[in-house]
Every structure is written in structure tokens, then in C-alpha cells.
Amino acid sequence: MSWRARWAALAVVLLPVFLISIDVTVLSISLPGISQDLHPSANELLWIVDSYSFVLACLLILMGKFGDSFGRLRLLIWGSVIFGAASVMSGFSTSAVMLIIGRALQGFGGATLMPSTLGIIRHIFQKRSERRLALALWSAAFSSGSAIGPLLGGILIEVANWRYVFFINVPIVIAFVVLAKLFVPESDREESERIDLLSPVVLIASIFALVLSFKLLIEDFALWQVGLLVVGAFGLALFWRRQYRVENPILDVDVVSEPTFRSATLINGIAYFITIGTLFFFPQYLMVVSGLSPIEAGLWALPMVVATILGALISPIFARRFRSNQLVALGLLTCGLGCLTVPLLVTVHFDPFFYFLCTFLIGLGIGFAEPLTNDTILSSAPDKEAGSVSAISETAYELGGALGTAVLGGVGMLAYRLSLSARESGLGVSDQVLAEAKQTIGSAAVLAEPGNSTNPDLAWTLAKASFVDGQNAAMYLAGLAAFAAAIIALRGMRAELHLKLQDKLGTKPPQKSPDLQ
């Protein structure tokens, strides 16, 4: 392919990446409208948010294997059609259950798209310097899409309503299908072989058990919930063992067993754990605590977007002179610093400069690290297995995002409820009103209604302070996760292990790579 053809194909391939990452976070602004129209329970509302990422995470490895066997471009096109149809269904939802099903089908369509995009990039860009830049743009599209989601949601809600958050996907899908046929080449396929279908069933059941147990344990401790956690962990162990036994496993255990690949994949999961976890809180802080409009709250997502793009674009430049593991660790330390400054600088009284500083640091750090971890992952396998390998990475992304909502969101909401209980004496409300206020910061608006509190203004101020306490607890945990990921990068992403992996797989190591010097 010519230089222009390669970069034109990349521009087209980035469309579904951007679209899918937007859909992970766009609902953060839409939840109040959905609650008003569909009246979901608290548990249903949680699954409306998480069903998309959950299905996406569970099916990515299987779809990566399908793409390698049956053609990545073909899978991209069919997946886009499914994604568009599911978006229409979600937009016309008349109940919470219908919306959950629509979101799950969107996740199914999205699972066919993500590994295929990275596999096509691996196929198109054989020169490593070009591939690093392409991966930087891929990371920028993915991360910025997640951050732009709240802005797009705010605009669509103010102009129309929450249903258009889903309808907007349809013209983008149509444009992508047409452009993909024109500009994106089909990649080489592996020889068609029987795919083990029991493994993804075990994987889905195990991940579902783990995610559900995390959510339930945060709300209330019970032995059966611990049992569910054990069942999920046992299921993952069975899945791993099966990959050694079946003739055609969906997971290449030789690749995953290598410390460099495993570390880079784990770091990607932690990065998205932090991204989605923070985006669960920030829109609520801006709209409910600070009183900004949906569009204003969306605009305040831009500092994180710009920082993510900036970090993704400059990290390949530094990679020419420094080792990847050092640069990834630097990015994660920057992200962790941003997370830990939130409890110190972001209070009930919104300060634009401090909020900008914190979110900019978080975005810059994540954007700086991701292109290098993705390059390490894609360089670990031959071209024909790029889809399967990238699917493992994407599974880590999406599972990290689902756990970000479950763990950071759950810890934050638990801290919010405990903080509100500690302030009970100052609220001047009945037990029934207090129980309702403890559900979410949105439901705490009941405290400001006349007759529900002896001092409505004070009660509402205390509720907002409690939400900030919950947000702070989540940010402390996110910061610790970022620092832990930095240690993983320094210890796990070592150059000699990367060389050993490439030798084991029979791939030629790149010449004069700073990773191998």
C-alpha cells in the first residue's frame, strides 16, 4: 500500500474506535433523563451503564479469533451493522429492560469491531515507527472518545433528548461501512479451523460472577456474595486450564504467559479502570454539586480530552530515546498524581483552575502510556494473530472499565452513604427521606424540597459535601491503582523479556529499537 492509502485506511478504521469509546461514557450525562422516562430501579440503572462494557469485555477474545479466521474487514462491517441496529433499538426503548438488552447488543457489535481495528493496523503498518504513530492516534481516538462522551451527551440532551444519544450512531455507522469498502484492505486470514465455543461461555459466566459480586459486596456484605466471587475466580481458573487442553484455544497461552505482554495488558486494564471510574463521578460533580448545565459539564470534559491526545502524540517521540517501560511508568505516575490532587483541590465550591489541573494530569498520564503498551502488545505476535492478541488487550480495557464503574463507583457511593449518615443530625429529616437521599446524589435532591427538612439549604449542602467525600475516596483508590501500574511497568515491561517473547514466537525483532537497546 502507498503512504496515502495506509493513512486513509487508518482514518476510516478510527471511526468505530471513536464511536465505541464514546458509547461507554455518553450515558453519564443521560442518566437523569433515562431515570425520568423509564423509571428504572437502582440495580437496573447500574446495568444500563455496565451491560455494554460487560458484553464487550466477555466477547472480545472470541471475536478476535473470528476476525483472524474469517477476515477482519468482513467482521468490521457486519459488526457495524449490528451496532447500528442495536443503537436504534436502544433509542426506541420503552422500558429499562429493553434498554439493557439494547445496550448489551451494542456491546456484542462493539466486540466485533475493536480487535479487528488493531489487527488491521498491525497488518497495514509493517514499519514499527509508523505503527507507533498509528497506535498513538488509535489511543487518542479511544481515550478522547471516552472523554467526549459526556460533552456529546450534554449537547444532544439540551437540543433534543437522551434517545438521540443512540440515534446519532446510525449515520456514523453508515458512513463507516461505505468508507471501509472503499479504503480498508482485507488482511490475511489464518487457515480456517474449529473454534472452541465452550471457552467463551465459561469466560462470560466467570466475569459476570466477578462483576456482580463486586457490586453486591460494596452495597452489603453476605457470605453468598463471597461465594459468587469464589465461583467467578474458579471459573477463570477453569478457563485458563482449558486453553492448555483444547486443540484450538481462543487464548494463546504462550503469549499471555510472557511477563511483558501480561504486564502491558494489565496496565491497559488499570488505565481504563481509572478513566471510566473518574468519569462516573466528574459529570455528577459538575452538574449536581456545582450546578452546571449538561453542555457546560460536557465542555469541562475537554481538558482531559486534549491532555489525552497530547500525551498519546508525544510519547512516540520520547520512545526514540528512552525505554518504553520507563515512559509508561512516567505516564502512570502523572495520572496517579492527578487522581490524588482531586481530594486536595476539588471541593464543594467549584474552582475552574484546580479542576482543569487535576483532569489534565489524569488525561496526560493515561494518553502518554497507552500507545507504548499497545505497541508492546501488538509487537508480541505475528501479523496473522494480531486480531487475537489485540482482543486480549481490548478485553483488559473493557473489563477494567466495567470494574472501574463497579469498584470505584461502589467505593465512592459507599463512602457517600457513610458520610451522609455521619451528618444525619444536621439534616433534620425523617428516616424515610434519609434512606432515599442515600441512594444517589441525584435522589438526595429530596432533601431540598420544602417540608422534608427543617433546614433544606443546609441539608442539601451537607449532601453535596458527602458526595465530594465519596468522590475523594474513589480518587484515592484510583491514585493507588495508577502507582501500582507504574511499578508493574518498571518491573514487567523489560526489554529482554520483549526480545525473548519475539524469539519464542519466531518473529524478527525490530532493528535499532530503543526497547531492545
Model confidence at 483: pLDDT above 50: yes
CA distance 336 to 354: 16
Residues 254 and 317 in one domain: yes
CA distance 327 to 316: 10
Task: Summarize pLDDT for 13-41 with one digit per residue, the tens.
Answer: 888 888 887 877 777 778 777 877 887 77
CA distance 29 to 368: 27
Residues 18 and 49 in one domain: yes
Residues 282 and 171 in one domain: yes
Asked if residue 444 is part of any domain, the answer here is no
Residues 167 and 209 in one domain: no
Instruction: At 514, list the grid cell.
Output: 530503543
Asked if residue 437 is part of any domain, the answer here is no
Residues 138 and 172 in one domain: yes
Residues 304 and 362 in one domain: yes
Residues 133 and 24 in one domain: yes
> To the nearest 10°, the Cα dihedral for 305, 310, 311, 317?
160
Task: Summarize pLDDT for 82-120 with one digit per residue, the tens.
Answer: 999 999 999 999 998 999 999 999 989 988 887 778 778
Asked if residue 176 is part of any domain, the answer here is yes
Model confidence at 503: pLDDT above 60: no
Please check whether residue 168 is in contact with residue 23, taking contact to mean a CB–CB distance below 8 angstroms: no
Asked if residue 361 is part of any domain, the answer here is yes
Q: How many domains does the chain have?
A: 2
Residues 238 and 284 in one domain: no
Last residue of a domain, one of 249, 267, 284: 249
CA distance 54 to 70: 24
Model confidence at 79: pLDDT above 60: yes
Model confidence at 366: pLDDT above 90: yes
Q: Band of the pLDDT at 473, cuts 50, 70, 90? A: very high
CA distance 369 to 361: 12
Q: What is the pLDDT of residue 502?
A: 46
Q: Band of the pLDDT at 267, cuts 50, 70, 90? A: very high
Residues 156 and 235 in one domain: no
Asked if residue 513 is part of any domain, the answer here is no
Residues 236 and 286 in one domain: no
Residues 380 and 462 in one domain: yes
Asked if residue 320 is part of any domain, the answer here is yes
Please check whether residue 113 is in contact with residue 20, taking contact to mean a CB–CB distance below 8 angstroms: yes
Q: What is the pLDDT of residue 253?
A: 73
Asked if residue 436 is part of any domain, the answer here is no
Residues 360 and 421 in one domain: yes
Model confidence at 507: pLDDT above 50: no
Asked if residue 517 is part of any domain, the answer here is no
Helix axes 42-70 and 72-91, enclosed angle (nearest 10): 160
CATH of the domain at 105: 1.20.1250.20
CA distance 159 to 297: 15
For residue 281, give its domain range.
3-183+250-429+449-507
